[in-house]
A and B are shown apart, each in its own frame.
Chain A
Amino acid sequence: MEHFLDITKDHCPMTFVKVKVKLSKIETGDRLEVLLSEGEPLNNVPRSATEQGYKVLEVTAVEGNVHKVVIEK
Chain B
Amino acid sequence: MQFTEENLERYSRHILLQDVGVEGQEALSQAKILIIGAGGLGSPAALYLAAAGVGTIGIADADVVDLSNLQRQVIHFTKDLNKPKVLSAAEKMQAINPELKVDSYHEFLTAKNIRAIVRKYDFVIDGTDNFAAKFLINDACVMEKVPFSHGGVLRFDGQTMTVYPGESACYRCVFGAPPPKGSVPTCSEAGILGAIAGMLGTMQATEALKHVIGIGERLTNRLLSFDAKNMQFRTINVNKNPKCAVCGKNPTITELKDEEQAVCEL
Contact = CB atoms under 8 A, between A and B. Distances in A.
Interface stretch (A1-9, A18-26, A35-43, A56-64): A18-26
A18 B21 CA distance: 11
Interface in B81-115: none
Interface residues of B, number: 11
A52 B17 CA distance: 9
Contacts of B16: 13, 16-17, 20, 48
User: What DSSP secondary structure best describes chain B's contact surface?
Assistant: helix
Nearest to A16: B16
B21 A24 contact: yes
A51 B16 CA distance: 11
Q: How large is the interface on A (under 10, 10 to 19, 20 to 34, 35 or more residues)?
A: 10 to 19
B233 interface: no
User: What DSSP secondary structure best describes chain A's contact surface?
Assistant: helix
B167 interface: no
**Residue from A16, A20, A51 whose CB has the most chain B CB atoms within 10 Å:** A20
A8 B116 CA distance: 52
A66 B18 CA distance: 26
A21 B9 CA distance: 12
Contacts of B22: 20-21, 24
A21 B8 contact: yes
Nearest to B3: A21
Contacts of B64: none
B15 interface: yes
Interface in B10-25: 12-13, 15-16, 18, 21-23
Which 4 A-B pairs give the minimum distances between C-beta atoms? A24-B22, A52-B18, A17-B12, A17-B15
Given A21-B8, A51-B18, 5 more contacts: A17-B15, A17-B16, A20-B22, A24-B22, A53-B18
20 contacts: A13-B12, A13-B13, A13-B16, A14-B8, A14-B9, A14-B12, A16-B16, A17-B9, A17-B15, A18-B8, A20-B21, A21-B8, A21-B15, A21-B22, A24-B21, A24-B22, A24-B23, A48-B16, A52-B18, A53-B18
